[in-house]
């Protein structure tokens, strides 16, 4: 079974779903990718879904989950995308790697929907640069998704 990469943030409504969708697309079947939160919001932000659709990625079926759902799974790599999740993150069975790459929370954007979308697009593009580079590095190591 391919290794599992778990992306964590506090609410599991925006950043972690952006990263999950981007990383899943970049890695293909080489790894399993999931996201969760330390205090899940219970929904995926509609503007996150819209921002991803703009780049051809559909995250409309994603759900907001608690990180405890993964405590019994072999999680090879944990990546936190916000400071609160980094501090609340437990060790998972089989965990070999942990990375923290913090991003602004677009859910806090204010103004009109278009002004909020500008923030979602900026954060999406920042996450895309980091996670596509990470995926390329993993795949380059051996043409697969090694530890």
- Active site annotation includes 82: yes
- Joined tokens for residue 111: 């103004």
pLDDT tens, residue by residue, 92-145: 777 788 899 999 999 999 999 999 999 999 999 999 999 999 999 988 875 555
Cβ neighbours of 131 (radius 10 Å): 26
pLDDT surpasses 70 at 70: yes
Measured between alpha carbons, how far is residue 25 from residues 15, 18, 56, 103 in Å? 16, 11, 10, 20
pLDDT value of position 145: 52
Which residue segments constitute the domains of the chain, with CATH numbers given? 4-142 (3.40.50.2300)
pLDDT surpasses 60 at 67: yes
**Residues 135 and 65 sit within 8 Å (Cβ to Cβ):** no
pLDDT value of position 144: 52
pLDDT tens, residue by residue, 12-22: 999 999 999 99
Instruction: Determine which one of 14, 31, 89, 145 is catalytic.
Output: 89
pLDDT band for position 51 (cuts 50, 70, 90): very high
Instruction: Determine which one of 14, 31, 82, 145 is catalytic.
Output: 82
**Residues 48 and 120 sit within 8 Å (Cβ to Cβ):** yes
Instruction: Determine which one of 9, 14, 31, 145 is catalytic.
Output: 9
Mean pLDDT across the stretch 43-69?
A: 97
């Amino acid at each position: 079974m391919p290794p599992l990469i778990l992306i964590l943030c506090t609410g599991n409504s925006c950043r972690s779903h952006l990263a999950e969708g981007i990383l899943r697309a970049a890695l293909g079947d080489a790894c399993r990718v999931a996201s969760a939160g330390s205090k899940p919001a219970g929904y995926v932000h509609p503007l996150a879904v819209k921002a991803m659709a703009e780049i051809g990625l559909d995250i409309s079926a994603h759900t907001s989950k608690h990180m405890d759902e993964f405590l019994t799974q072999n999680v090879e790599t944990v990546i936190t995308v916000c400071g609160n999740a980094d501090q609340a993150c437990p060790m998972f069975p089989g965990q070999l790697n942990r990375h923290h790459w913090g991003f602004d929370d677009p859910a806090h954007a204010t103004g009109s929907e278009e002004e909020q979308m500008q923030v979602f697009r900026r954060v999406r593009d920042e996450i895309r640069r980091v996670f596509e580079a990470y995926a390329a590095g993993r795949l380059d190591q051996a043409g697969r998704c090694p530890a």
